[in-house]
Amino acid sequence: MAGQAILYRMVLPEHTCPFGVRAKQMLERAGYNIDDRVLNSRDEVEALKADMGVDTTPQVFIDGELIGGSDALETFLAEQR
């Protein structure tokens, strides 16, 4: 059974990040319980990146461990098989 995932992703009125959508789909397919934390403004996105010391969104945590963005998530999930 898959665990708990927290997904921070950008959904702005003018732009929904395709990498965030992709990360959510990968987590759903893998059976994770997803806490989907949508960032609704550029300020929220920039604050999250500054707080976490990362350059991009989305950012995924699985069972409390930072996995990273959608590419890192894809690698992590492939290694779990």
Compute the half-sphere exposure of residue 76: CA atoms within 13 Å on the CB side of its CA.
Answer: 19
On the question of pLDDT at 81 being above 80, the answer is no
pLDDT at 80: 87
27 contact partners, CB below 8 Å, separation of at least 6: 5, 7, 34, 60, 73
For the chain, list the domains and their CATH numbers.
4-80 (3.40.30.10)
Q: Which two tokens stand for residue 64?
A: 């409390």
Helices (H), 1-81: 18-30, 42-52, 70-80
Residues 22-75 have pLDDT tens digits of 999 999 999 999 999 999 999 999 999 999 999 999 999 999 999 999 999 999
CA-based nearest residue to 24, from 62, 70, 55: 70
Phi then psi dihedrals of residue 2, to 5 deg:
-75, 160
pLDDT of residue 1: 55
Res 29: pLDDT = 96
